[in-house]
C-alpha cells in the first residue's frame, strides 16, 4: 500500500519529544530507520524544551509526533511499529 505522502512527495515532520536521554536518542534512530525503510522523506526535529513538550499534552517522554500529532509516548517503539504509524 502506498501512502498519500509517498504519492505526493510531501515531507513528513517527525518530532522526538524528550530531554535527550538515551531512550529519546533510540526513538530518533528508530524513527529515522522506519522512514528510510519506507522511502519517506522526513524532517526530524528534536523537541527538548519542557514547555514545548507540554504543549503537545505529553506527560511521559520520550514521545513521537508525526506531522504534529502525538503517536506514542512513554516508550520506544521499534522501527516496524513506527512504520505502521507512518503508513
pLDDT tens, position by position, 51-86 = 999 999 999 999 999 999 999 999 999 999 999 999
User: Which residue of the set 14, 16, 17, 24 is catalytic?
Assistant: 24
Check residue 80 and give its pLDDT.
97
Question: What CATH number corresponds to the domain at position 73?
Answer: 3.40.30.10
> Per the domain annotation, does 60 fall within a domain?
yes
> Per the domain annotation, does 3 fall within a domain?
no
The Cβ of residue 34 has, within 10 Å, a number of other Cβ atoms equal to: 24
Check residue 11 and give its pLDDT.
85
- Its domain, for residue 72, covers 10-86
Per-residue pLDDT, averaged over 26-42, amounts to 96
In the predicted structure, residue 24 carries a pLDDT above the cut 60: yes
Check residue 3 and give its pLDDT.
44
- The secondary structure of the chain in percent helix, strand, coil, rounded to multiples of 5, reads 40, 25, 35
> Per the domain annotation, does 43 fall within a domain?
yes
User: Which residue of the set 21, 50, 54, 59 is catalytic?
Assistant: 21
The verdict on whether 42 is a catalytic residue reads: no
Looking at the DSSP bridge assignments, the partners of residue 12 are 42
Check residue 68 and give its pLDDT.
96
Number of domains, the chain: 1
Amino acid at each position: 500500500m502506498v501512502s498519500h505522502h509517498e504519492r505526493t512527495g510531501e515531507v513528513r515532520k517527525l518530532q522526538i519529544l524528550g530531554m535527550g536521554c538515551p531512550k529519546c536518542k533510540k526513538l530518533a534512530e528508530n524513527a529515522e530507520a522506519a522512514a528510510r525503510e519506507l522511502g519517506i522523506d522526513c524532517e526530524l526535529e528534536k523537541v527538548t524544551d519542557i514547555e514545548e513538550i507540554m504543549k503537545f499534552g505529553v506527560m511521559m517522554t520520550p514521545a513521537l509526533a508525526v506531522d504534529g500529532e502525538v503517536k506514542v509516548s512513554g516508550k520506544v517503539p521499534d522501527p516496524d511499529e513506527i512504520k505502521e504509524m507512518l503508513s
